[in-house]
């Protein structure tokens, strides 16, 4: 096993049980595992005691090192339609109706290329683990296309096999032609689990099942997806829920229940479930989420762009709900910057939410960073990532804080990651492998990827008759 030492960090944020922040911090990696974390003195003592010969040493002076950031909800294919329906100011249902016909023109190359571009942008922002939600599969596209992109880049990946089965002819929102039958959905779900899912420690690919939303799938596919997922180890369940007031009204009119009550009736609450958005739960529902150990992924920028509302993250965290952070779709954000999303979460909670006044001390910078690290690990049920401790997976990121955007912020360099302009990753290590070095993503021709992606995005609009 090769040894990697990253040393001399201005501050190393462990996110361990004591939330230690180590000045002059160093981290030692053997293979894909962290074997020691400490200051310069303790690291040198450890190296002498273990008689370790170093294979590579990186000087992280001028940096803050954090656990790798964990993105719990995304739609990578949406990089193909950035800004197309957000600039004019559309709410969720109108936004979806505008984009469904365009997404229906995608093919395997478009899904693969958009995933690779979105993942590259996320990795350069500090993301080391990404959960993606692909829920439409036109023209031969499959979940395999996104998995291929993730493997090439070396990111830890939680792809979810999404689905839509409730078309407009059945009272749903999406057009019928972008929906699939239940038989097709279940058959392909089994295929991707059997082919790609790895439930072991340090897994680089874990499959989830993710019927899209209450307004785009039938109750049967929700139930059968849950039964299927729970027949395997560590195949979790994911869907959008309580994102907008329109969704609340839809569920009341169609099912006679609020969204969380509807999920409960389908067996969709529990520690193997996490919901994206959760903007509009009431007090009793927050307690129910906590009691059932159900997870929530907060997507602040998307919620703001689509005017969905402000999720009561402070209230959910205080109640004991497992809450993580997600960038969400690249067509409803329209960026892929995980550190920036953590900053947005901090700011938005300070503004407040319906029924609560604004308070500047409601959410701290360190709480926002925890949301993006430990919070995400808990939501994805990963005990092997989210903190920098002996025995954990070697996933960590170094951000420079000695340059223009952090000048004058030396009094609290950890808080500066959230309060100052979001920085790009200077170094990123995933599963013990360096994937970003000196601010550059390794093993990828980024300019050519962007050109290829933009050509595919333009062709998509042409094929959809949008230009």
pLDDT in tens, 257-290: 999 999 999 999 999 999 999 999 999 999 999 9
Which pLDDT tens digit goes with each residue over 352-408?
887 888 888 899 999 999 999 999 999 999 999 999 999 999 999 999 999 999 999
Q: Give yes or no for residue 48 having a pLDDT over 90.
A: yes
In Å, how far from its chain's centre is CA 119? 10
Percent of the chain predicted with pLDDT > 70 = 100
Asked if residue 108 lies in contact with residue 142, where contact means CB atoms within 8 angstroms, the answer is: yes
For residue 314, what pLDDT band results from cuts at 50, 70 and 90? Answer: very high
Mean pLDDT, the chain, whole residue set: 96
Give the whole-angstrom CA distance, residue 11 versus residue 8: 8
Give the whole-angstrom CA distance, residue 284 versus residue 159: 31
Give the whole-angstrom CA distance, residue 114 versus residue 119: 8
Q: What class does CATH assign to 69-379?
A: alpha beta
Q: Give yes or no for residue 295 having a pLDDT over 80.
A: yes
Q: What is the dihedral of CA 281, 287, 293, 296, to 10 degrees?
A: 20
Q: What is the CATH topology of the domain spanning 3-67+384-439? A: Urease, subunit C; domain 1 (2.30.40)
Question: If phi over 0 gives left and psi between -120 and 50 gives alpha, with beta otherwise, what is residue 257?
Answer: beta
Residue extents of the structural domains in the chain: 3-67+384-439, 69-379
pLDDT at position 359: 85
Give the whole-angstrom CA distance, residue 239 versus residue 259: 11
Tokens 């992606």 belong to residue: 453
Percent of the chain predicted with pLDDT > 90 = 93
pLDDT at position 385: 98
Of 128, 124, 163, 127, nearest to 143 by C-alpha is 163
b/e map 142-168, b = 16+ CB within 10 Å: bbbbbbbbbeebbbbbbbbbbbbbbbe
User: Sign of torsion, CA 300 306 308 309?
Assistant: positive
pLDDT at position 150: 98
pLDDT at position 209: 98
For residue 467, what pLDDT band results from cuts at 50, 70 and 90? Answer: confident
3-class state of residue 400 by DSSP: strand
pLDDT at position 85: 87
For residue 113, what pLDDT band results from cuts at 50, 70 and 90? Answer: very high
Tell me the whole-structure pTM to 2 decimals: 0.97
Q: Give yes or no for residue 30 having a pLDDT over 80.
A: yes
């Amino acid at each position: 096993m090769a040894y990697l030492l990253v040393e001399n960090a201005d501050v190393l944020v462990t996110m361990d049980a004591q939330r230690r922040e180590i000045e002059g911090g160093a981290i030692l990696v053997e293979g894909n595992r962290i074997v020691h974390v400490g200051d310069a003195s303790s690291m040198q003592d450890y190296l002498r005691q273990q008689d370790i010969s170093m294979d590579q040493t990186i000087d992280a002076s001028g940096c803050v090192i954090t656990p790798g950031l964990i993105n719990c909800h995304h739609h990578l294919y949406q990089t193909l339609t950035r800004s197309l329906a957000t600039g004019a100011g559309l709410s969720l249902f109108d936004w979806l109706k505008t984009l469904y016909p365009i997404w229906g023109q995608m093919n395997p190359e478009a899904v693969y290329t958009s995933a690779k571009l979105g993942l590259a942008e996320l990795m350069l922002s500090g993301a080391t683990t990404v959960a993606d939600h692909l829920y439409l599969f036109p023209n031969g596209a499959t979940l395999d296309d996104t998995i291929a992109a993730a493997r090439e880049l070396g990111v830890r990946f939680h792809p979810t096999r999404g689905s839509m089965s409730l078309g407009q002819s059945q009272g749903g929102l999406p057009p019928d032609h972008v929906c699939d039958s239940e038989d097709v959905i279940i058959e392909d779900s089994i295929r991707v689990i059997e082919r790609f899912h790895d439930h072991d420690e340090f897994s680089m690919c874990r499959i989830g099942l993710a019927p899209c939303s209450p307004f785009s799938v039938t109750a049967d596919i929700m139930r059968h997806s849950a039964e299927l997922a729970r027949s395997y180890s560590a195949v979790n369940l994911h869907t959008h829920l309580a994102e907008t007031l329109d969704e609340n009204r839809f569920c009341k009119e169609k099912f006679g229940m609020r969204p969380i009550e509807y999920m409960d009736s389908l067996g969709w609450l529990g520690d193997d479930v996490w919901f994206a958005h959760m903007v509009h739960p009431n007090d009793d529902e927050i307690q129910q989420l906590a009691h059932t150990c159900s997870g929530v992924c907060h997507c602040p920028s998307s919620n703001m762009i689509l005017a969905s509302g402000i999720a009561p993250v402070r209230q959910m965290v205080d109640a004991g709900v497992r809450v993580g952070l997600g960038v969400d779709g690249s067509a409803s954000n329209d960026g892929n910057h995980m550190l920036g999303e953590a900053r947005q979460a901090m700011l938005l909670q300070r503004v407040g939410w319906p029924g609560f006044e604004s308070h500047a001390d409601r959410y701290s910078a360190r709480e926002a960073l925890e949301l993006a690290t430990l919070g995400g690990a808990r939501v994805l049920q990963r005990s092997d990532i989210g903190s920098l401790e002996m025995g954990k997976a070697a996933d960590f990121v170094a951000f420079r804080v000695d340059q223009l955007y952090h000048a004058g912020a030396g009094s609290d360099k950890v808080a500066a990651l959230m309060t100052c302009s979001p920085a790009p990753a200077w170094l990123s290590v995933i599963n013990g492998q360096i994937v970003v070095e000196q601010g550059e993503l390794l093993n990828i021709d980024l300019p050519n990827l962007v050109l290829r992606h933009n050509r595919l995005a333009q062709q998509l609009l042409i094929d959809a008759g949008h230009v």
